[in-house]
Structure 1
Amino acid sequence: MTQRRQQTTRKTQNNRPGGFVRIISGQWRGRKLPVHDVEGLRPTTDRVKETLFNWLAQDIYQSKCLDLFTGSGGLSFEALSRGAESVTMLELDKKAATQLEINLNTVKATNATVINSDSLRFLSQTGTPHDIVFIDPPFRKDLIQDVITALENNGWLTPHAMIYIEAEKELGQLAIPSHWHLHREKSAGQVCYRLFSREEP
């Protein structure tokens, strides 16, 4: 696997072949969906996911979501299960993207799109505004700052978008736009995760 491919793929629910993601709540509550075993994917805990979607409880329904570095699709499927209007999934790894398509067909979701593309390259074009954006790239690859800049500069955010950022705890200070306000923040193990609310500048 190339270095670039490692930089643009997120995580699986576990690191063994035949892994899965579990949907916590919503119309597919308790459903387990298989995950393709791809090198470089890291675990996502249900604990973090449950906390995030508790934070988003008032915002997720009928929202338009953008999931960068989708990987296993845990956040995307949770959003869909809880009533998101649409989800766009960006995933570079071809096998992981194919598995996402298979899982969408399994749950008969017609309001989600999988795009087999590098997330930063995709964000470099003029975008369609989204209500919620999930930013959860591989750790220690210095991708988040470029993602924030692209989201703001290229029209990917609605005026009052919610932006979720998950990163390694030791990550240095990010240049967060002044009109992004920290809504919630928490740590779990080596992970620090934050939810920002945006106000149109």
Structure 2
Amino acid sequence: MVRIIAGTRKGRVLATPTGGTTRPTADRVRQALFDVLAHAPWGGPPLLEDAHVLDAFAGTGALGLEALSRGAAHAVFFETDRPALAALRANIHACGWEERCHVYPRDVTNPPAARATPATLVFLDPPYHKGLPTKALEILTAKGWITPSAIAVIETGRDEPLPFTAEAESALPCAHTLLAERQHGAARLSIWQLASGAA
């Protein structure tokens, strides 16, 4: 069972699609993540309050909806899997946030030009071991979906190289700053301050 952990929709149970194509971020992992975002020197209330967030590879939308519950103003979701899209839209409706959310049934690595205020906080939970985080961030920045200096939260496999490192297949020369890293079971979370002018 997946729930919103804190904020105005605390305890709201989120719909999840059947099958194994979607991997919702576990409640305990989201709790740990948002604890870091709330208490880190570079985070705190200004990071979420009235923020515009983007949830790439959104699945059920648990990350973006958690951010809205904790004070974000608006969320954009990208998802292509049909069962996941149905669950995502049901969750937005159950929260009463249709006016604060936009869902794009598009491949996040091939988005249209931005139609919303650029996000300052972006969540990426892609399929593991496919080098998708750097590719998605590069194109999202180029198309105006996220600010060049956004905070990016990336979930990868525990045994997968961190994005933007020499060990990562898709590493790009850049000056992105690793702010925090946590491991939870098979998942690794890394939080990055993106560098203006790099993707």
1:153-192 equivalent positions in 2, closer than 5 A: 153-172=142-161, 173-174=167-168, 175=171, 178-192=174-188
- Say if 1:200 and 1:84 are closer, same or farther in 2 by CA, change over 3 A: same
1:38–1:96 Cα contact (<8 Å) kept: no
Q: 1:150 aligns with which of 98, 119, 139?
A: 139
Which runs of 5 or more residues in structure 2 are unaligned? 39-43, 162-166
In the alignment, which residue of structure 2 is the partner of 1:42? 23
In the alignment, which residue of structure 1 is the partner of 2:76? 88
- 1:25 is the counterpart of 2:6: yes
Kindly state the Cα deviation for residue 43 of structure 1 after the two structures are TM-superposed: 4.6
CA distance in structure 2 between the aligned counterparts of 1:142 and 1:200, rounded to whole angstroms: 21
Kindly state the Cα deviation for residue 88 of structure 1 after the two structures are TM-superposed: 0.5
- 1:195 is the counterpart of 2:191: yes
CA distance in structure 2 between the aligned counterparts of 1:36 and 1:55, rounded to whole angstroms: 28
The number of residue pairs the alignment matches comes to: 180
CA distance in structure 1 between the aligned counterparts of 2:94 and 2:150, rounded to whole angstroms: 30
CA distance in structure 2 between the aligned counterparts of 1:135 and 1:176, rounded to whole angstroms: 17
In the alignment, which residue of structure 2 is the partner of 1:111? 100
Please give the root-mean-square deviation of Cα atoms over the aligned residues, in Å: 1.9
Kindly state the Cα deviation for residue 153 of structure 1 after the two structures are TM-superposed: 3.0
CA distance in structure 2 between the aligned counterparts of 1:31 and 1:194, rounded to whole angstroms: 26
Kindly state the Cα deviation for residue 170 of structure 1 after the two structures are TM-superposed: 1.9
Query: Percent same amino acid among aligned pairs?
Result: 33
CA distance in structure 1 between the aligned counterparts of 2:125 and 2:187, rounded to whole angstroms: 11
2:50–2:71 Cα contact (<8 Å) kept: yes
TM value normalised by structure 1: 0.81
In the alignment, which residue of structure 2 is the partner of 1:70? 58
1:163–1:195 Cα contact (<8 Å) kept: yes
Larger mean CA deviation between 140-149 and 50-59 belongs to: 140-149
